[in-house]
């Protein structure tokens, strides 16, 4: 099995981190090839609600195919509350039926366009497997990848700028809930989780033409890391192709649209690896050390771990340093 195939099979599992305020939301990594039972999911709703869900899913299915330039990609219902994501391995988009009923439909339009844009420009196969396996690295990648994808969405489809703003503004309450859940399960909010949220917050300020202004409640060690790497994060989330270039079928200056997509992804990844990861990893290492100490004090057997729900429902497992984090997004 080559590195790329192994990465798809191993690494693109449910990650949802930052797809949610958005992660957040969206989830960049995959749940796997098994599609959820749509009839069972729909059976949890009344006939009238099922009609609304199916009608809106049909609209979103067309939008996802159009944005992702993939007219075979299915848009499936997740279980209520499971969130939104692009499943890299199975190449499917999962959407939350509860959101279709309760949230403004413009927000759903933006979310599915976001997931479709992951299909369009996210190319995690450019990352060497040994780097991808570094504990916490995939979390960092997703924290920057979501803003990068959002930039592509809004530039390519200007009518989605308002829904994007509305969606991220609505994510504030969820962030507070996610941090509370993490604290209840771990006794504290992981440093790297705070940093990931902060990158997205600062990207949102940047996207609205505002200057960077770090959250007042950031712990000092998290503040120092984010402050030291924010310029690099901005450089990274700016590395996305223009829609016209991404859509190019024939070679121009030696590059096809797919070549251009991969080149932008590679540049973004290299910035994350060289200019952000060395500092971000300090937070990951501290979190692992704290978790190991907590488990030791509680008599937890070696090899066991706890988990905390992250932004957008993501679950990050805290494990010994020789085992890579598994970022699970909902």
What's the pLDDT band for 90 if we cut at 50, 70, 90?
A: confident
Distances (CA, A) of 108 to 113, 162, 293: 8, 12, 42
Q: How many CB atoms lie within 10 A of CB 202?
A: 22
Contact criterion met (CB below 8 Å) for 60 and 108:
yes
Rounded to two decimals, the pTM is 0.77
pLDDT-derived band of residue 298, with 50, 70 and 90 as boundaries? Answer: low
Q: How confident is the model at residue 306 (pLDDT cuts 50, 70, 90)?
A: very low
Q: In this structure, are residues 142 and 15 in contact, taking their beta carbons and an 8 Å threshold?
A: yes
Nearest-angstrom CA–CA distance, 12 and 142? 11
Span between the terminal Cα atoms of the chain, in Å: 28
89 Cα distance to chain centroid: 15
**Concatenated DSSP letters of 114-158:** HHHHHHHH--GGGS-HHHHTSTTHHHHHHHHHHHHHHHHHHHH-G
Give the pLDDT confidence score for residue 172 in this predicted structure: 54
């Amino acid at each position: 099995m080559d590195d790329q195939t192994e990465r798809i099979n191993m690494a693109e599992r449910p990650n949802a981190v930052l797809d949610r305020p958005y992660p957040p939301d969206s989830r960049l990594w995959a749940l796997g090839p098994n599609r959820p039972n749509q009839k069972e999911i729909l059976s949890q709703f009344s006939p009238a609600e099922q009609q609304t869900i199916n009608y809106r899913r049909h609209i979103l299915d067309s939008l996802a195919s159009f944005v992702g330039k993939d007219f075979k990609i299915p848009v499936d219902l997740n279980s209520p509350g499971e969130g939104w994501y692009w499943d890299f391995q199975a190449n499917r988009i999962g959407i939350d039926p509860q959101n279709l009923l309760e949230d403004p439909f413009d927000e759903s339009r933006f979310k599915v366009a976001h997931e479709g844009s992951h299909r369009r420009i996210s190319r995690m196969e450019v990352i060497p497997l040994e780097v991808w396996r570094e504990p916490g690295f995939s979390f960092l990648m997703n924290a920057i990848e979501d803003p990068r994808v959002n930039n592509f969405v809004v530039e390519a489809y200007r009518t989605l700028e308002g829904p994007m703003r509305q969606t991220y503004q609505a994510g504030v309450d969820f962030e507070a809930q996610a941090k509370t859940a993490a604290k209840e399960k771990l006794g504290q909010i992981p440093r790297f989780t705070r940093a990931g949220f902060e990158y997205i917050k600062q990207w949102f300020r940047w996207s609205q033409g505002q200057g960077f202004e770090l959250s007042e409640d950031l712990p000092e060690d998290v503040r120092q890391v984010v402050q030291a790497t924010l310029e690099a994060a901005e450089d990274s989330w700016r590395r996305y192709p223009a829609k016209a270039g991404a859509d190019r079928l024939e070679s121009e200056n030696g590059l096809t649209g797919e070549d251009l997509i991969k080149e932008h992804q590679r540049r973004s990844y290299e910035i994350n690896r060289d200019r952000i990861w060395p500092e971000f990893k300090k937070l990951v290492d501290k979190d692992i050390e704290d978790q190991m100490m907590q488990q030791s004090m509680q008599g937890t057997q070696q090899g066991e771990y706890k988990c905390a729900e992250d932004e957008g429902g993501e679950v990050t497992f805290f494990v010994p340093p020789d085992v890579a984090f598994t970022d699970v997004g909902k």
